[in-house]
Amino acid sequence: MKQSILKFEVCTSNAQNIFRTIFKTQHSRMIYLSLKVNDSDCTILDCFYIDRNQGKIEEERYSSKPKKLQTFQCRLDELLSVIATELDKKFYGVEFIHDDNANLSLEEYLKMKTSGAGNKYHFLIMVGDGEDYNGIPLRLCTRLKNKLYRLIYIELEYYNGGKGVVRQCYYYDRKYKRQNIKITPHQLTSCFFPYTREGILNLLNHEICCNFTHMIVTSGIDLDSNTTPLCGTI
């Protein structure tokens, strides 16, 4: 099947045989992978998640490495087996392509390859309460499902000086609800954030692995009566 072929594009205009690609794992994680090919052997040069650390710059943005990846040198005919075992994606063939993207920097390449993600609208739906600050209720809460298919409850509140604060954020997957414990996603490191629509979207997208493009605020939804995530895609 065509969609099961892993296509590597040359990433240098000279004769170094260095190629790169981006693919989505079976758990919807986006991975960047570059390697050097030498006859029948290959060496993995770089590999990182591109759906993490999006708010970071330079090397910090590329620092989230797949922990299962342990094989960095192998025969070319073993590459797909390594990807299936250690990077969580099964392909049935591989192609190496020489195209016009060789001179793109890493930043330009990532932007070009991920720009298609904006073709859909991913709505964050928040339940609001209280008076408004710049058109946003002073208290917001929701239940959502992130890109890792983890169910998360989050509660935000306006604090002071244009800043909001994270009051609560925890998983509500079945095993945690059954044990009645609240575990905060370890990627969430910010307590305060700009209390704007953009600030809220950035917080959720960059720190709890979401991909929302717009935020809708509503009222009258009883989150305690139904644990279904509030989110949507068009």
Q: Domain locations in the chain?
A: 2-118, 120-233
CA distance from start to end of the chain: 27
List the structure tokens of 154.
């989050």
CB distance 213 to 122 below 8 Å: yes
Q: Hunting for tokens 């997957």 — which residue is that?
A: 173
Left (φ > 0), alpha (ψ -120 to 50) or beta: where does 44 sit? beta
Give the pLDDT mean for 148-174: 92
> What's the mean pLDDT in 87-96?
92
Whether the per-residue pLDDT at 228 is higher than 70: the answer is yes
What is this structure's pTM? 0.56
Check residue 15 and give its pLDDT.
Answer: 65
pLDDT digits 0-9 by tens, 193-214: 999 999 999 999 889 988 888 9
